Amino acid sequence: MATGTLTIDLDALVQNWRSLAALSESETGAVVKADGYGLGAAKVARALARAGARRFFVAVAEEGAGLREALGPGPEINVMSGHMAGDTDMIGDLALTPMINNVDQLLRHVEALPGHAFGIQLDTGMNRLGMEPAEWAAIRDIALAQAPTLVMSHLACADEPSHEMNRAQLAQFAEITGDIDAPRSLAATGGILLGPDYHFDVTRPGIGLYGGLPFDLATPVVRLELPVIQVRDLEPGETVGYGNSWEAADPTRVATVSGGYADGLLRALSHTGSLWHGDTPCPILGRVSMDLIGVDVTHLSETPVALDILGPNQKVDALATDAGTIGYEILTSLGARYTRRYTGG
């Protein structure tokens, strides 16, 4: 085993979906963009479909095409970038549902694929995707006459429950969609946790399914074990890694593990992060290299065969904090070199 082993617990994923579903009375969808937050969209979506998920969300049409192949006909696959130029064949042939973001996309859609399902994405202040309120006011009667499958917007600050932006976006969304029949959706993981006012008809959790904050009751889904390639003993004054940036003050036992920034183990973990041997943390020594990390194992009573960088003792957000980032980035950066094992599902 020369590469790390990434174990993805599909039972934990399904349990997280069920837990998030139990927090609202709404239909609970699943966001599987970016290859299911790096964990494999096909496997993730099939497990969730078996558990009862019927609406999936991806970022772009190409992801939707792969997902349709994995899921077969039936489940709704919503494309959040909408109907972009060049996507018509994919949207039409594979029964994808674009979330229309502006008038140009609406015209493209109804002209190229008349009668084909679509949803509407509204901007309520994040200024990222979706129609502006004035644009929506101008075309809403035309759009609503075609029975959109969903009318959605996205919260910018849902991971900060007390942020005033949440109530402002909720008020805006309620105002501009108050009198429509189409199903409405505002909440991703953070929005679900903000409570029933935010739930509307459909929720769209992503990160919480995969074990990340802000869903602090999530069950961890990933374990990442890195094999130890070599162990050596250093004298005081010897150094580890590029730039001699760590120097031993005392006799030190260093394990070199297989895995580095090319595998998504961010270089920002240099000097700060830890790997784990069972319940014992083992600090990273020196700089993270492209394919290798030096780890202090002086305090272990045995020579480890492998060390965990993600697992029950170090969840994605703990590693993210050490790297100065968020769990989303840790997951979606996980590299292609790992041996991937799926359990449960």
Rounded distance between C-alpha atoms, residue 67 and residue 31, angstroms:
11
214 burial (CB, 10 Å; 0-12 / 13-18 / 19+) is buried
Distance from first CA to last CA of the chain, Å, rounded?
A: 25
Task: Give whichever of 190 and 286 is closer to ligand PLP, judged by the CB atom.
Answer: 190
Per CB under 6 A, which of residues 24..43 are in contact with ligand PLP?
A: 31, 33
Per CB under 6 A, 189 contacts ligand PLP: yes
Per CB under 6 A, which of residues 108..147 are in contact with ligand PLP?
A: none
Closest of 212, 164, 168, 220 to residue 190, by C-alpha = 212
Per CB under 6 A, 188 contacts ligand PLP: yes
242 has catalytic annotation: yes
Please report how close the Cβ of residue 33 comes to ligand PLP at its closest, in angstroms: 6
Per CB under 6 A, which of residues 205..234 are in contact with ligand PLP?
A: 205-208
Please report how close the Cβ of residue 107 comes to ligand PLP at its closest, in angstroms: 22
Please report how close the Cβ of residue 292 comes to ligand PLP at its closest, in angstroms: 31
290 annotated as ligand-binding: yes
Write out the H or E segment, with its range, that includes residue 244: none
Rounded distance between C-alpha atoms, residue 312 and residue 319, angstroms:
12
Phi, psi (rounded to 5 degrees) for 22 = -70, -15
126 annotated as ligand-binding: no
Contact 330, 252 (CB under 8 A): no
Task: Give whichever of 80 and 226 is closer to ligand PLP, judged by the CB atom.
Answer: 80
43 has catalytic annotation: no
Rounded distance between C-alpha atoms, residue 276 and residue 23, angstroms:
33
Among 46, 199, 204, 315, binds ligand PLP (CB under 6 A): 204
Write out the H or E segment, with its range, that includes residue 261: none
Residue with tokens 């904050």: 213
Contact 4, 339 (CB under 8 A): yes
Per CB under 6 A, 154 contacts ligand PLP: yes
**Which amino acid, residue 72?**
G
Q: Which string of x and - marks every residue 67-106 that binds ligand PLP (by CB under 6 A)? A: -------------x--------------------------
Q: Which residues bind ligand PLP (CB under 6 A)?
A: 31, 33, 80, 154, 188-190, 204-208
Q: Which residues are catalytic?
A: 33, 242
- Binding region for substrate: 128, 290
- Residue ranges of the annotated binding site are 128, 290
